[in-house]
Amino acid sequence: MARAQMGLLRRVQNRLSEAQAEVEMAIALDRNSELALKQLGQILLFQGKPLAAIPHLEKAIRLNPRGPNLWSIQWPLGQCHLLLEQVEEANDLFRKACAASPRAYFLHLNLAGALGLRGDLDQARVALEEASQAQA
């Protein structure tokens, strides 16, 4: 747990190489560490490796599919799919994340962007309005 937390701290500090080393150590010690897997997925995403991030994020979801912070895994997983031009998967994940955490405005912004890429501008406007309301 300490290695996973140190990885989170290093990720937030944008020290991604150090963060990756910490969470990989955490996973070596506990291959079912949801936190470490989620952090590794986010680190890989931020390093521009969305395809490499997906298996780690998906495993984190499988380990705790009804966890209270599931949205915090669905969100980066949706970003990975969006970067890989898998817009439908991204939309689905962003919708789930928004439903689970409706006050997190940035989730609605991601959903609006994905909907816009799909060409669904009316729904994108709705998502932007929801982002505005969530922020208020």
Q: Are residues 52 and 73 in the same domain?
A: no
Q: Are residues 131 and 72 in the same domain?
A: yes
Q: Are residues 33 and 2 in the same domain?
A: yes
Q: Are residues 58 and 73 in the same domain?
A: no
Q: Are residues 51 and 2 in the same domain?
A: yes
What is the percent of the chain where pLDDT is above 70?
Answer: 99
Q: Domain ends where: 65, 91, 120?
A: 65
44-64 average pLDDT score: 97
Q: Dihedral of the CA atoms 95, 96, 100, 103 (nearest 10)?
A: -20
DSSP line for 113-128 = HHHHHHT-HHHHHHHH
Q: Are residues 18 and 42 in the same domain?
A: yes
pLDDT of 136 strictly over 90: no
Q: Are residues 61 and 78 in the same domain?
A: no
- Cα 64–Cα 68–Cα 70 angle in degrees, nearest 5: 60
Question: Can you give the residue range of the structural domain that contains 48?
Answer: 1-65
4-8 average pLDDT score: 95
> What is the radius of gyration, based on Cα positions, of the chain?
15
Q: Are residues 7 and 56 in the same domain?
A: yes
52-65 average pLDDT score: 97
Q: What is the pLDDT of residues 75-129, one digit of tens each?
A: 999 999 999 999 999 999 999 999 999 999 999 999 999 999 999 999 999 999 9
Q: Are residues 58 and 1 in the same domain?
A: yes
Q: Looking at the whole model, is its pTM more than 0.85?
A: yes
Rounded Cα–Cα distance for residues 37 and 15 (Å): 17
CATH of the domain at 89: 1.25.40.10
Total domains in the fold of the chain? 2
